[in-house]
A and B are shown apart, each in its own frame.
Chain A
């Protein structure tokens, strides 16, 4: 036990050191990827609460992120609300919107709920495009790089601390949630909503709560995304984004805390990786640029492979990998443990 605690302490220590040193050793490009991944992690962890743990399929995460981004942008540019304040407000705003679009959950389940959220995605996009007095439509809103304690958060270094920090916090909160009654109620709704109801869980209340929490995460992610891109326009919040997020939690692992993180990292890094491979191969074999299509191809292929071979996602694969390596390195005994 003590041994175990020590291990975790060491792990945390390493993490903190990486967190503090990272920005100063990595290139802007790498930092950019990490920041995107961190922002995506926030959104994915949130979506995992709703879809992975509560079992409500939401296809509007992209639009919810958009709501957050616009809220922050409008508060910051039009009303001059301080940067740090806009982030939680954006979260709350999005939570409210999420609850409104969660109301159909009163009657709908499964695919039909997914459809209502799809409608939400489309309607919100319509609002982004057409409520020009607030969103200035397709024109988009420019944001001047924000200040944090006097330091201008321009560029990727400053944002690294912010995004990664908030992502870590988000994961911690989600981790807490599923040690408690609320979390258990969510899972119960996913596993057997009727039984949960008869045990005394107010299904509708908890479904709405789940929507609220999940969209709060989305809102925060959106606000960060907006400030990071210094430009908010509808095209960044389309259905494809929502689908990417679903892909993240599935690839990462549904109903698993680390699923959100791994999935987000995977989906952000994968295209880079495929590009690199193509460039790498391209040095020897001349390649058409249409080979960029392979990015999409590989993405689709991997998703299918995951769902057919390893529905539990990356987390499970990594766990197995870990045990396997342990078995290979240490005694064959731990192999047995690992596999059961």
Chain B
């Protein structure tokens, strides 16, 4: 029982991790807290669906197209909106991202309507049983993806030239400009990458559930993850994802019986609250300092 719950938790956790990664990336690059991540996840899934079902071509053609499209979406968002949003107060940024998610959900409804779609099987079949519970390929793939992306990001920010520039921009825009780095480019790039990651998450989620507008709901559920892991920590996002996922499923199994309600989502927010009170900057986050 425990083992099974644990495995289920890891499975869900890796999906959380995927989505949290996108959020963290944007924060690292432009210190924007993205409440529209959920909507990006949703629209990413829809785009992929449209491309895969719409274009009569093998997956190795259609999938890249979908990825490019979602990257473009990210760039567009940055160019059209966040270019003009430098040096505004936090609430404005938060609200703009919320506005974006309204916009995305609205346009999704306008284009695809509000029906449920069943997502095409684009993931190679590979599923096995572990501890008496049959793990479907979706979870395995999302686990793999989250791991791969984790490694890629870590290397990217540590060694690659662009990654270093991004960090410079995040650190201090003015200084980076004086170093001849174009912050705008870096930030759009980070949005592009983040959107791609969101799309991957969306595809995973659409495979777990149906493809519908409800997918964007995940955006809120991911906040406990990023807070636990630390807003600007990539490894934190992944670990946080697993921890929240596991605690959620454990609490659902053990506490669920005792206190009627659906505890698993509440538990993660209780954790969020505790973390904020005990260790506001999460497990791996960097502290912000006050100056006079």
Q: Which of B61-69, B136-144, B272-280 is the contact stretch?
A: B272-280
Known: A254-B91, A296-B109, A308-B84. A116 touches B98 (CB 8 A): no
Does chain B have a CB within 8 A of A273?
no
Inter-chain CA distance A77–B96, complex, in Å, is 41
Tell me whether B266 and A304 are in contact (CB under 8 A).
no
Inter-chain CA distance A129–B265, complex, in Å, is 13
Minimum Cβ distance to chain A for residue B269 (Å): 4
Minimum Cβ distance to chain B for residue A142 (Å): 22
Residue from the list B81, B103, B273 in contact with A116, Cβ < 8 A? B273
Does chain B have a CB within 8 A of A108?
yes
Does chain B have a CB within 8 A of A218?
no
Chain B residues, Cβ within 8 Å of A293 = 105-110, 114
Inter-chain CA distance A303–B260, complex, in Å, is 39
Q: Which of A66-74, A156-164, A165-173, A239-247 is the contact stretch?
A: A239-247
Chain A residues, Cβ within 8 Å of B130 = none
Chain A residues, Cβ within 8 Å of B33 = 111
Residue from the list B105, B108, B220 in contact with A239, Cβ < 8 A? B220
Known: A57-B94, A123-B269, A246-B91. A303 touches B99 (CB 8 A): yes
Inter-chain CA distance A250–B88, complex, in Å, is 13
Number of cross-chain contacts by CB at 8 Å:
136
- In A292-318, the 8 Å CB interface with B consists of 292-304, 307-308, 311
- In A109-135, the 8 Å CB interface with B consists of 110-112, 114-116, 118-120, 122-123, 126, 129-130
Q: Chain A interface mostly helix, strand, loop or mixed?
A: helix
Does chain B have a CB within 8 A of A194?
yes
Residue from the list B100, B102, B110, B277 in contact with A290, Cβ < 8 A? B110
A side interface size, CB within 8 A? 48
Chain B residues, Cβ within 8 Å of A198 = 292
- Closest A residue to B280 by beta carbon equals A112
Tell me whether A129 and B261 are in contact (CB under 8 A).
yes
- In A65-102, the 8 Å CB interface with B consists of none
Does chain A have a CB within 8 A of B57?
no
Does chain A have a CB within 8 A of B126?
no
Inter-chain CA distance A22–B34, complex, in Å, is 43
Does chain A have a CB within 8 A of B55?
no
List 7 other contacts, CB 8 Å, given A112-B227, A293-B107, A302-B99.
Answer: A114-B94, A115-B272, A120-B273, A123-B273, A126-B266, A246-B95, A290-B113
The 5 lowest CB-CB distance pairs between A and B, nearest first, are: A300-B102, A297-B106, A293-B109, A300-B103, A303-B99
